Amino acid sequence: MSRTQTSPQRGAATVEFALVAVAFLTVIFGIIEMGRLFYLWNTVQEVTRRAAREAVVRYVWDAPAIQRYAVFQPGTTGDVKLPAAGEISNLAVSIRYLNNVDASGAGVVADPLPADPVDNITACVSKLPGCINFVEASVCTMQNGACTPVQYVPLFDMWPFSLFAVDIPGSTVVMPAESLGLL
């Protein structure tokens, strides 16, 4: 056999590399997606806690600023998203001001809302239905007046990750109202 004759094995390494690379990259991208899913899962808990904590010390008219603060974007305007998780925006942070929480845990919305923190104290002392006693914060998408879980969107929009649709578990935090912005 002469040295110039080509071998039937020529190019086999390229084909083997392509087959192994597809499997390897699928595993690597899967690890990235799972890490991002767990990040989002845990961060939703922190977003609701931050929103509730800010809402009990700021008044109702600050709700848009509270929502942006909750998704780690204070001092911004407009629609902002959680870093590394575009599924959660400030619009997904729901804040309700409650008069009371009944035995089942459902909140009774304070209606009408007092004009300012001083009026809230007056309403609470007078036992009016507009008194804000609790603040409820949750992360969800409002659809037809109902709070539905936020849908996880894979970073890599290709098969098999496009089949990976998961609802992020809802998180709700209820805290007793504090100063509501009264200095």
Each residue's pLDDT tens digit, 32-73: 888 888 888 889 999 999 999 999 998 888 889 999 999 998
For residues 42 and 107, the model is more confident at 42
Question: How confident is the model at residue 85, as a pLDDT?
Answer: 84
Phi, psi at 133, each rounded to 5°: -100, -30
Phi, psi at 175, each rounded to 5°: -130, 150
> In whole angstroms, what is the distance from residue 109 CA to residue 111 CA?
6
For residues 120 and 155, the model is more confident at 120
SS3 62: helix
- In the chain, DSSP assigns E strands to 81-82, 85-89, 93-101, 107-109, 134-139, 141-143, 146-148, 171-176
* Average predicted confidence (pLDDT) for the chain: 84
pTM: 0.78
Question: How confident is the model at residue 10, as a pLDDT?
Answer: 75
